[in-house]
Structure 1
């Protein structure tokens, strides 16, 4: 009886095609080729994208709370205003990605490649950058650019 009262949009369907506002909550999308797709505004909470290819994709305004992006390639991906609280991007490649105004609180970028990313206005409280390469990244103030080399922190 309770299920009938829930709006259909609240139920995740992991077989839905990639598109804006898709609901992939708790879906396993490991190894998927999602290059240049538009997932703007998508629900990606607790989803898994291990070794997925997301180069050039639009993930602006996504809710990816606790999502897993282990070893994902996200070169040039737009993550502006994305909610990536407690997301795990260990060993992800984000070269040239845009994370403007992204909420990265308690996210993990362990051994990640963050060269030339834009972190302008990003929220970084508790974010872990252990061994991450931040060389050339635009820092949260929008004017400071991390020197070469910047491993684990913006120098």
Structure 2
């Protein structure tokens, strides 16, 4: 981040297609429902910024900080995030399918029911995030780590999982478990995962008292 950021003015708030925005501080700015394709945010700071319902295909965030922003129901197909931290954000229903994330950290974020289909994750961490019902169908997860996350009912159908790391996560009802070849799972998660795998293989597990 640069030493000095300039408060976002009218030019930075009224987004246009293919616009480049550098070193801007958005703060309590409301961009809900905005429509702009191919926007580049370079070294920008977003704190309590509202993007809810925005349509931002092919948006790029480079060297940005996103703190307690509202990204719920944002459509950001083919988005590119590079060296970005997101903390305390609400992003329920975010669509980032076919996106590319590199050196990105999500911390204490609500990212449930999100769409990550066909996305690629390169050195990405989700820590203490709610990812319930997230869709990672055919995503490349080889560079992602999930730490203390709720992944219940998340879908991993045909995802590339070799090297993906899971540590103390909620995994109840995850889909696509047969795609987990090469995933690295913490011992604390093995018991719950074994029930999911048994169900996928058609194995009936009797109650312990029978």
Among 76, 80, 88, the residue aligned to 1:39: 76
Deviations, residues 52-71 of structure 1 (Å, cap 9, x unaligned)? 11101101111112211111
Identify the residue that residue 147 of structure 1 maps to in structure 2. Answer: none
2:123 aligned with 1:81: no
More helix by share: 2
2:100 aligned with 1:63: yes
Moved over 4 A (4+): 8-11
Separation of aligned partners in 2, 1:123 and 1:47: 23
Separation of aligned partners in 1, 2:39 and 2:95: 22
Among 88, 111, 118, the residue aligned to 2:155: 118
Separation of aligned partners in 2, 1:85 and 1:116: 23
TM-score of the two chains, using structure 1 as the length reference: 0.81
More strand by share: 2
TM-score of the two chains, using structure 2 as the length reference: 0.61
In angstroms, what is the RMSD of aligned CA positions?
A: 2.4
Separation of aligned partners in 2, 1:70 and 1:103: 20
Gaps of 5+ in 2: 1-19, 21-37, 46-50, 180-187, 195-210
- When the two structures are aligned, how many residues end up with a matched partner? 141
1:23 and 1:91, CA in 2 relative to 1: closer, same or farther beyond 3 A? same
Separation of aligned partners in 2, 1:112 and 1:42: 23
Separation of aligned partners in 2, 1:11 and 1:78: 21
Larger RCO, structures 1/2 (Cα 8 Å, 6+ apart):
1
